[in-house]
A and B are shown apart, each in its own frame.
Chain A
Amino acid sequence: MGHIQQNTHTLFVDAFLQNNRLDHVTQVMGYHPAYLDHFLKTQHFILRGDGPLPFDYRHYIAIMASGRHQCNYLITLQKQEFLLQGGDHTWLKGLDYIPQKLRSLYDINKILAHQPWLLNKSHIEKLTKGKDSWSLAEVVHAIVILTHFHSLCSFVFSCGVNQEVDQLGAHMYPTSNNAEATALLEPNNPNISKTEPKDIPAVANRKDWKNASNTSPPSPTEPEVGITTLMQRMKTLSERNEECSPVELTKRFENVETQSAELNAVGAEPQDVSADIYVFVEDPTFIYQDFAKRHDHDDIMTFRVQDYSWDDHGYSLVNRLYNDVGNLLDDKFKTAYNLTYYTMGGRTDVDTSRFRRAIWNYIQCLLGIRHDDYNYGEINQLLERSLKTFIKSACCYPERVTKKDYDKVLREFKHSEKVHVNLMVLEARMQAELLYALRTVNRYMTN
């Protein structure tokens, strides 16, 4: 194992004590101890802390959420936790065996995972009324777990996290169990993307995975913009005080939206997902559809962050219904959004805020959220096509992302920086989903 910073090590110890394992996700996040701290606290709180939902429900909801992206890794982990919490093992046979109450959550799960803008009051109302009804606090708790695991799926796939050693299909090395993670944790290992065993598929029993990712990748001939160019552009952007009309700005936002709609996901849909995942999935054909192409729902407006923001509204609501989680999430979002080491590739003292903001806003733009005070033209300047494709895939079709895609983008960036990008995908997506969900709950409460 490579050298680990002291604070990271402490976090690892804590994580191990909490989970009885140091899972690969934690290890990969170990690149960013400041963030990992908040992540672990939040995850621990929503799964094991005080909350309105019974413990077995929480883990089952996590399984349902991970099922939307066929994330075998998380499903297996959560199955174990579910059984440890004394969950009824017949439930693990599939959705047909669970209580009606849990079953009725599935609609929200499905919508939040893929097209959160479709969520409306009636969905919440269906849950809270009638037999086996949910309390609002329970709904909010469930929503937090759902969004957490949806976005965690993005991270798992986009970082190419392997199965745990004890899981079926885990890759076993003769000597080191965690070679994959080990390699990831050594940012200076130049061979990481070249060495043979690195593109072990995340879903183990898919032999064609290595090839699958090659079917519709961004053309390899497309030149990748180097860090130098990127920095140059950031500099120009900050120097130029562009005065453009608001109309122009709106057009740019729409441009980014429509352009992103033209991007294809990196890989094809995974072909043979094992049957034991599909028992947790209902309506598997319901997937992300570009926000710009929501023709049958023209009445759905762009979500303006200025009208319903996390800081002002989301936080207050979630904290009211599910005590303390607001602070944890708030810290986590803030850390993820503001995290920077002022480095880019090998360069130091770089102001990365523009680049980070572009990524964050692009992710939320994919989900139809607009920041009034952002010039979306910057996204096109700072995020090249291949990166946008990667982000879009990670955010919207995480199950199609492979380790190869991870290796292909941001070639000049360090691993820690790539993981950082993936963290932003996780957090921006989670915040977007939460905003939609909480706004809906708010609307349900006020009327």
Chain B
Amino acid sequence: MGTFSVIQEGPVNALALNRDNTQVAIGGRNVFKVYSIEEDKFKEIYNLRSSKHLNLSFSCNDISWSLIDDNYLATAATNGHVCVWNLTKMGKAMQEQDYQEHKRTVNKVNFHSSEPNRLISGSQDGTMKYFDIRGKTSVATFVSNTESVRDVQFSPHMPHMFAAVSENGSVQLWDVRRPDKCQQQFTAHSGPVFACDWHPEMTWLATASRDKTIKVWDLTSKPTLEYTIHTIASIGHVKWRPQRKYHIASCALVVDCSINIWDVRRPFIPFAAFNEHKDVATGVAWRGDPQVFLSTSRDCTLLQHAFRDASRPASKANPQGMSLNNTGEVLYACRVPANTNLSKMSGLIRKYSTSTMNNSSDQFHLASSVMHHFQTTLSQEPKCFYSLALNYVLSGRSLTEMCEHNATVAKEHGKSYIATVWRIVKTMYGEEYIQNSFNSHGCKNNEDTVSHTNIPAGNLALASLDHSTDNERQSRGGDTPAAQCSGGDDETETEDQVDHGLLYNNGFTSYSNFRLGLPRGDFYFGDNELDIELDGLNTVADFKSSFRNSQQLGEQQDWTLPNEAFNIRHEIQNHSPPPEQFPNQNSPDINDDAPIAVEDSAAQGVLTVSNIPERCVWDPSSIVISALKYHAMLGDVQTAACMLLVMGDQRRLLTGLDEATQEHWLLGYIELLGRYRLWNIAAQVIKLSWLPNVTQLNQQSTRINTNCGKCSKPLQRAGWLCDRCHTSEYALCSVCHQVVKGLYAWCQGCSHGGHLAHMMKWMSLNKTCPTGCGHSCEYS
């Protein structure tokens, strides 16, 4: 059976097939005919409009064909009439009944599928009427309490039940025997519902609406939404495909002229589409066979469609999509082969089906795709600020380490430019001044990993030093061998290779010593590649030679040595005297002796020393200053302040940056931290700051005056004498009745108290207040 059509005089609104699917009745404003369906054409049997008595009762919105008696047709007329036609009669007598009971246009009529002569109609006036077509009037009226009823359908499963959908988006289920009240009502759509259709096998009801969705409801018990199909236009009609559980046909009310067959499990692209009509389709009827159906349209045609002529939109759709937004985020969606296990994909954010060409209808719905979301920014600025403030490390580690850490943090928050600045600072003030590879030393994990006593005396200082170097390396590299490896590569410089060659033997011995001395010696060398190992060896060797002279110092220095020791050493050599230690600065807590010792040893140590002056000629401070100023200018005072803090003593080099500006940034940052209630961090910043004006913030408002017990005047001069009352009456110890001039302890409940010692003693023996006020004081 192929695709063929017949053209009518006017738009066709509806069609209905007879019981055997051999004949079709069509109706519209100017059309009312019955055709028999032949092999490759339609043959007109009746033209019910041929009579002279034309009127609006012939202008129908819907047609229904009795499923019991092949001779009866019912139509819903635009003028509110419901007509029943008997095809066995002739002329005017064909119109057997003409019910004029609805006040407004009738939208739908539906014959009962098992009981003969039963008919239901739904109208624009908001009522439904139940007819026995043998009678002259309706049997029952159902009032929906909505503006209009758009569709009514008898349930194929429950003989007494019918569904009605209405203008306000609700679905009602009625029992024909109970016209007073509907059995169930629920809101299905956000706009008028135009059509509904019962599933032939399941207790599913499909509803179609102006809100451009088709919804499938399971009505077994409580109505639950099973599937939602998104269409491109308002849907006027839906019809389940026989023998295909998940397939449903739809036609749009405006704009979209094609008839779409959907797999309800794949709601974004139709399984098949039929594009023969030139105007919107108004009705669909399956010929009992899933491969053939008929449709009518406003383009005045009646068409029979064969499924093999369908077009498959999915095969034409682009299976990939990409989009990027103005902040540089990229979305990319692509098809996943239907047999791939989706759970393997870890990077996806959400999945939904797009297009996969799959001719087998069983696999059609399995098509899936993944969407990757590539994000460059974490979140909005305030959140970012908060998170950055929390995660930045401002002290306690070496400069390089802190810079690297902070760069990572910034990068994680999508601030790649700030991360770059951190790295620049690291390069300029961290590594640049260090001749060999152990450029960064942090004592992050020290106490527990090394036991000094195990190390032979000669290598004591060396071992501890070296240990921390490599531990640091470990931690910085994220504890993975790969990361370590690359880190080692980067930091290996040519001089080191030379050193390494020269000192190899030496190094090897110390290496073995070193291993001996460490309970967890394999921890950093065992699995590493040669580069790292050599670096380490080199380090060891270097230090071995350099520290020979100052062994006793090393012994004394103990744990403090590794901190910042080597940054400072070079700075000292080439630029300025060792910076003074600010008492409140805890990060480079090196004693004065330490840098000196290192300095000496370095001078004596290795070949590389002579190269250093050349490398340090260029002064990067002006660049750094302008970078900081740039960020501050952008309102990002956080970056500027944090970098200054992290640079620690190195900021002395920033000669072009006046203190007022620095203070300005710090105070700004502290203020911002306060706004975000990050008091701890603000306190830390204050503590770390090097400017007296900022440091003093911690010293302010530390005094609290007690008030005189009598006049409530704050006791400013002395804690025991009120200037106004000139009495110490309220400063008496309630135990010994002497004026308390030192520590005064008092109960917060009754405010009585006295000498701390007295109170302690009293309360250890008694439970009530020593004054006898009766209060049960608590002392803890």
User: Which residues in A have some Cβ–Cβ distance to B below 8 Å?
Assistant: 243, 245-247, 249-250, 304, 306-307, 311-313, 315-317, 320, 372-373, 442, 445-447
Contacts and interface: CB of A to CB of B under 8 A. Distances in A.
B210 A315 contact: yes
Given A247-B55, A249-B56, A313-B253, A373 B279 contact: no
Nearest to A307: B29
Given A245-B55, A246-B55, A317-B255, A312 B236 contact: yes
A372 B29 CA distance: 11
Contacts of B167: 311
Nearest to B148: A311
B59 A372 contact: yes
A307 B29 CA distance: 8
Contacts of A317: 254-255
Contact of A316 (B254, B278, B279, B299): B254
A128 to B, nearest CB: 16
Contact of B78 (A320, A372, A445): A372
Contacts of A307: 11, 29
- Best-buried of A249, A311, A372, A373 by chain B (most CB within 10 Å): A373
A316 B234 contact: yes
Contact of B80 (A320, A373, A446): A373
B707 interface: no
Interface string B740-756: 00000000000000000
A307 B12 CA distance: 11
Contacts of A247: 55
A122 B55 CA distance: 32
Contacts of A304: 29, 78
Nearest to A244: B100
Nearest to B232: A320
- Best-buried of A246, A249, A442 by chain B (most CB within 10 Å): A246
Contacts of A315: 210, 234
Contacts of A249: 56, 79
A320 B233 contact: yes
A235 to B, nearest CB: 16
B255 A373 contact: no
A373 B104 contact: yes
Contacts of A372: 56, 59, 77-80, 105
Interface string B355-388: 0000000000000000000000000000000000
Contacts of A316: 210, 233-234, 253-255
Q: Is the interface of A mostly helix, strand, loop or mixed?
A: helix
A20 B708 CA distance: 61
B181 interface: no
B255 A320 contact: yes
A312 B57 CA distance: 21
Interface in B79-123: 79-80, 100, 102-105
> Which 8 pairs of residues, A with B, have the shortest CB-CB distance?
A246-B55, A372-B78, A306-B78, A316-B234, A246-B56, A373-B105, A373-B80, A373-B104
Contacts of B253: 312-313, 316
Interface residues of B, number: 32
Given A312-B236, A313-B253, A442-B254, A373 B124 contact: yes
A442 B253 CA distance: 11
A312 B11 contact: no
A406 B61 CA distance: 41
Nearest to A372: B78
A380 B102 CA distance: 22
Interface string B273-311: 000001110000000000000000001000000000000
Interface in B208-261: 210, 233-234, 236, 253-255, 257
A442 B102 CA distance: 30
B438 interface: no
Q: Is the interface of B mostly helix, strand, loop or mixed?
A: loop
A299 to B, nearest CB: 14
A420 to B, nearest CB: 20
B57 A246 contact: yes
Interface string B299-325: 100000000000000000000000000
A186 B104 CA distance: 38
B213 to A, nearest CB: 13
B278 A446 contact: yes
Given A249-B56, A373-B79, A320 B103 contact: no
B39 to A, nearest CB: 31
A317 B252 CA distance: 11
A311 B253 CA distance: 11
A245 B100 CA distance: 10
Contacts of B104: 373
Contacts of A312: 194, 210, 234, 236, 253-254
Nearest to A248: B55
A322 to B, nearest CB: 13
18 contacts: A245-B55, A246-B55, A250-B56, A304-B29, A304-B78, A306-B78, A307-B29, A313-B253, A313-B254, A316-B233, A316-B253, A316-B254, A317-B255, A372-B77, A372-B79, A372-B105, A442-B254, A442-B255
Given A245-B55, A307-B29, A373 B11 contact: no
Contacts of B103: 373
Given A250-B55, A315-B234, 9 more contacts: A246-B56, A246-B57, A304-B29, A304-B78, A311-B210, A313-B254, A316-B254, A320-B233, A372-B79
Contacts of A311: 167, 192, 210
B100 A243 contact: yes
Nearest to A438: B254
Contact of B254 (A250, A306, A320): A320
A446 B100 contact: no
- Best-buried of A250, A306, A313, A442 by chain B (most CB within 10 Å): A306
A246 B278 CA distance: 32
Given A313-B254, A320-B255, A372-B59, A246 B29 contact: no
B117 to A, nearest CB: 23
Contacts of B254: 312-313, 316-317, 320, 442
A301 B255 CA distance: 23
A445 B279 CA distance: 9
A85 to B, nearest CB: 26
Given A306-B105, A372-B59, A373-B124, A246 B210 contact: no
A372 B192 CA distance: 21
A215 B210 CA distance: 50
A315 B253 CA distance: 11
Nearest to B280: A446
Contacts of A373: 78-80, 102-105, 124
Given A373-B105, A447-B278, A246 B255 contact: no
B236 to A, nearest CB: 7
A214 B280 CA distance: 52
B258 to A, nearest CB: 12
- Best-buried of B55, B61, B278 by chain A (most CB within 10 Å): B55
B149 to A, nearest CB: 13
A320 B233 CA distance: 8
A262 B254 CA distance: 38
A325 to B, nearest CB: 14
Contacts of A447: 278-279
B516 to A, nearest CB: 76
Contacts of B280: 446
Contacts of A245: 55
B126 to A, nearest CB: 12
Contacts of B11: 307
Interface string B1-13: 0000000000100
A337 to B, nearest CB: 10
Nearest to B255: A320
Contacts of B57: 246
Contact of A446 (B102, B192, B234, B279): B279
Contacts of B56: 246, 249-250, 372
A245 B53 CA distance: 11
A246 B83 CA distance: 13
Contacts of B80: 372-373
